[in-house]
Amino acid sequence: MNLFCSIGYRVLIILIHTQYLVPNPAFNLRGRSSARFRTPACHAGGRGFKSRRPRHLKDRQNSNFFMSYVKKELVFTKEQIAERIQSLASQISHDYADKELILVGILKGVFTFMADLVRSLSIPVKIDFVRIASYGSKMQPGEIRLVNDIGLSVKGSNVLIIEDIIDTGLTLDYLKKRLKKKRPASIKVCALIDKSERRKIPVDIDYVGFKLDRGFIVGYGLDFDERFRELPEIYRLIF
């Protein structure tokens, strides 16, 4: 009996570590023998992030199991965000007083920031959105693709691009070049977060909420694999 119990126990251990049963994420996360759990390479907010989830994390149950090991560190509180947005709105309202202004938001991550910013403005504005892909299984590294273009005409108008986070700068550079072809009166940029850690090309940002050197951040519209957008604060993920 003891012999059969011992054999059965060893078979069970083998099954666990060959992933026939639920894997042990704590073992993998410490990087002892597996690279299946990888920290994200870039930010997305649905744009700049390419999911690197392993095969066994693609179902929601195992993904939730993995996420239970991810910790969040508070970076900016609700009060700090609200105060900074009010300051940005006051500056924008002053700079564009008596001018026609069109805000162009880059989906998805910008929706929360842009909504609060617009409600804090004291001037009338028009609003439009674009959706841009910078990752995908059939896309080359650094490739940018327009998914949805703006519907409004910006010819002769002042355009203010609204971004949640500027990381590599590639998406913003692509959009600015595309908008210039539509002959607006001016193009400026407002970003909630300027994160310079992975900047590939220099970009001019006219209105900046916060500056960060590094870190994968979520909350207030920013996501990790479509998670954490609903958080009212901004956090740094610790893997």
Which of these, 178, 176, 214, lies nearest to 194 by C-alpha position? 214
Catalytic (active site) residue 223: no
Contact 194, 20 (CB under 8 A): no
Contact 192, 212 (CB under 8 A): no
**Amino acid, res. 109:** G
- Burial annotation 199-222 (CB, 10 A radius, 16+ → b, else e): eeeebebebbbbebeeebbbbbbb
| Strand spans (E) along the chain | 71-76, 101-107, 126-133, 145-148, 158-166, 186-195, 207-212, 217-218, 234-238
Q: Which of 116, 164, 167, 223 is catalytic?
A: 167
Residues involved in catalysis:
167
